[in-house]
Amino acid sequence: MSRFTKPSINWVELEKLVAPDQKGKFFAFKAKSDAYFRRVESNPPEPPPIDWAEYKKIVPIPGLVDNFQTAYQAFKAPFPADTLTSQVDSQWAKLQEDIKKFVSEQQKEIDTATKEINRIKALPRFEDMTMETFFDMYPDVAIDPVNKPSFWPHNPEEQPDYKEPETKTKK
């Protein structure tokens, strides 16, 4: 197992993704993570070597230090086998397709919105637009006082030729 020398988390990019109301929890989590990382880094990567010859001189019982040395060198700390990385990698590969599809759909939405924004920006300023300009640009929405005069407030209910729509009632 190799020793990591720096955290693999890009905290700056991750912070950009955190909602403003969750920043406090994010910084608390980052502080705990940094504290854990500093604790791990404060320990040496390998345990300090044991001077077995010095112990053989000090310990009066013959063979005891040799037994400890063989037991110490035979001991391997149990480390769980990595059985989930392959599953995570396969799930990530499947998600990549969904992510690409989502990104392409959102790009279409972005393109549509950009076209609409550019269309709106191309319009004359509101202060410079006249009723005639508005009528030329939107003849279906604008008031046409020549061909179809109307009374204020220019909605269908207030016009002289307005007829109530017949409502069908269930019997």
User: What is the DSSP code string of 154-170?
Assistant: -SGGGSTT--PPPPP--
125: left (phi over 0), alpha (psi -120 to 50) or beta: beta
Residue found under tokens 């393109």: 111
Name the 3-class secondary structure at 11: helix
Global pTM reads 0.42
Per-residue confidence (pLDDT) for residue 3, from 0 to 100:
62
Does residue 7 surpass a pLDDT of 90? no
Per-residue model confidence as pLDDT tens digits over 115-146: 999 998 998 888 888 888 888 888 888 888 78
Per-residue model confidence as pLDDT tens digits over 12-44: 999 999 999 999 999 999 999 999 988 888 888
Q: Locate 155 and state its tokens.
A: 């909605």
Residue 153: cis peptide before it, omega within 30 degrees of 0: yes
**Cα–Cα distance, 58 to 43 (Å, whole number):** 28
